[in-house]
Amino acid sequence: MLSNSLIELDRRHLIHPVSSYRGHEELGARVLKSARGAIVTDMNGHELVDGFAGLWCVNAGYGQDSIAEAAARQMRELPYATGYFDMGSEPAIRLAAELAERAPGDLNHIFFTLGGSDAVDSTVRFIRYYWHCKGQPQRDQFISIEQGYHGSSTVGAGLTALPAFHAGFGLPFSWQHKIPSHYSYRNPAGDTPEAIIAASLQALHAKVEELGGPERVAAFYAEPIQGSGGVIVPPKGWIKAMYDACAAMDILFIADEVITGFGRTGPLFACSDEGIVPDFMTTAKGLTSGYVPMGAVFMSDRVYDVMADGAGAAAIGHGYTYSAHPVSAAVGLEVLRLYENGLLANGRRAGERLMAGLEKLRDHPLVGDVRGRGMLAAIELVVDKAKKTPLPTDAAPARRIFDRAWQQGLVIRAFANGVLGYAPPLCCTDDEIDMILERTRLVLDATLEDADVRRAM
Ligand code: PMP
């Protein structure tokens, strides 16, 4: 059978990202064949609602013909143009201008990358260069947050705070530091916004002092909502408080919007709702809705001018062969048009339905927490709600839950700690949101019957 030979070829030759290589050889691949809207079909013809938009990226939904046409048109006309040697292409210039127009405040300068990891990596290079131009090269310490994710480049993986990205890789670097997450469901400071904000501010100031004071600290990285750490939503006012604290110490603030950007939480950028203008904003995923790879670093006028004046006639040595790729840019322009011609509005409506439906799952014996904003949400499963006891991890319930959801016709993200993540395409219909919710309840009911879960309750 064709499918069997494909799975065998995959076992032998394709290395999957962030996976157990031996575990994958045993389990084999789930191969997707086609998709339309929010529905994906695997090679056995099994149809599933994609409650995770690929990897939180297919915000526009699958099968948007106008995106495919924009890419094909650009490939025929001009498939490639370098940005080196002051060259460029029309779609890249137009996309940069459109993005700058919509970005908060003075984030007027756009550097295009291939995805989120190299967007984060680029900010680290830009920031070092910025402090060099300012005559403060000793500002070389970077702070990020526990449970944060900032990509898988060597430098970004060090800013990331997930153990699997560090163990065995010699990371983090000695200049990369973390403060505790604002995770309100399990926060030693308590669960009120005031207590959590005060604890984060205190942790930031303590870390800065430990590093020798603000004059040693280059930058602070935060996701408006922590994604890969388990969809952890900070209390209202948290981002503004952290931003103000950084600004008062002249520490650059980077909003990593790789997941939250492009309508995922409601507005085009989550920052716009927070009353801040970060020094840098990193984006990817929804920028091209996953149809082709692309990321974008948004740089403020303030930072740009320091770097531009500091370098003078010298070249600033950072860039990629595929920076500002014209095909990706053409896709980005079309995706942006779709967002503004109804997709953002539909996402906001569907997001309300999703959040309201997930809230109703609080009555389920396994659901300890429900959190999210817009089309980015999670439920956290526990075996004892009062004590917040996590699911037993010895029998890998995450894998079991993922498999069960798959059988029910639902793709979700099942985190190892019993958190289920949701990030459906913004094009979801009411029926599709209801399918996500109903299938989730079936999965939870089945999990409740698992012997190890019952024993732990
Ligand atoms: N930053 C954040 C906040 C992310 O969520 C991700 C990816 N999930 C990245 C950076 C890295 O992006 P990519 O996988 O496109 O390299």
pLDDT at 392: 83
Which ligand 1 atom minimizes the distance to the CA of 228?
Answer: 5
Q: For residue 381, is it within any domain?
A: yes
For 143-160, what is each residue's pLDDT tens digit? 999 999 999 999 999 999
Q: For residue 329, is it within any domain?
A: no
Amino acid identity at 319 = G
Fill in the DSSP letter of residue 82: -
Same structural domain for residues 282 and 346? Answer: no
Confirm or reject: Cβ of 421 under 6 Å from ligand 1: no
Same structural domain for residues 349 and 320? Answer: no
Confirm or reject: Cβ of 52 under 6 Å from ligand 1: no
For 26-52, what is each residue's pLDDT tens digit? 999 999 999 999 999 999 999 999 999
Same structural domain for residues 157 and 267? Answer: yes
Q: For residue 337, is it within any domain?
A: no
Which ligand 1 atom minimizes the distance to the CA of 148?
Answer: 3
* β-bridge pairing 176-179 and 141-145: parallel
pLDDT at 386: 96
Q: What is the mean pLDDT of the chain?
A: 96
Same structural domain for residues 305 and 411? Answer: no
CA-based angle 349:352:354, to the nearest 5?
Answer: 110
Which ligand 1 atom minimizes the distance to the CA of 226?
Answer: 3
Same structural domain for residues 41 and 125? Answer: no
- Write the CATH number for 180: 3.40.640.10
Whole-prediction pTM: 0.98
Amino acid identity at 291 = Y
Half-sphere exposure of 336 (CA within 13 A, CB side): 20
Q: For residue 386, is it within any domain?
A: yes
Confirm or reject: Cβ of 149 under 6 Å from ligand 1: yes
* Mean pLDDT on 165-187: 97
Structure tokens given for 153:
């480049």
For 395-440, what is each residue's pLDDT tens digit? 567 889 999 999 999 999 999 889 999 999 999 999 999 999 999 9
Confirm or reject: Cβ of 181 under 6 Å from ligand 1: no
For 245-258, what is each residue's pLDDT tens digit? 999 999 999 999 99
Q: For residue 334, is it within any domain?
A: no
User: In terms of residue numbers, what domain contains 125?
Assistant: 81-324
Same structural domain for residues 234 and 97? Answer: yes
Confirm or reject: Cβ of 284 under 6 Å from ligand 1: yes
Confirm or reject: Cβ of 115 under 6 Å from ligand 1: yes
How is the beta sheet containing 32-36 ordered, strand by strand?
32-36, 39-42, 47-50, 410-411
pLDDT at 2: 58
Query: What total number of domains does the chain contain?
Result: 2
Which of 149, 165, 225, 298 for a ligand 1 pocket mutation test, highest count of atoms within 8 Å of Cβ? 149
* Mean pLDDT on 325-330: 98
Same structural domain for residues 54 and 85? Answer: no
Confirm or reject: Cβ of 117 under 6 Å from ligand 1: yes
Contact 173, 158 (CB under 8 A): yes
Q: Whose CA is nearest to atom 6 of ligand 1?
A: 151
Same structural domain for residues 285 and 201? Answer: yes
Confirm or reject: Cβ of 150 under 6 Å from ligand 1: yes
Instruction: Give the domain-ending residue among 324, 350, 373.
Output: 324
Which ligand 1 atom minimizes the distance to the CA of 56?
Answer: 8
- Write the CATH number for 400: 3.90.1150.10
| Pick from 403, 81, 104, 93: nearest CA to 224 | 104
Which ligand 1 atom minimizes the distance to the CA of 55?
Answer: 8
Q: For residue 384, is it within any domain?
A: yes
Same structural domain for residues 143 and 231? Answer: yes
Contact 331, 70 (CB under 8 A): yes
Confirm or reject: Cβ of 286 under 6 Å from ligand 1: no
Structure tokens given for 330:
């053409």
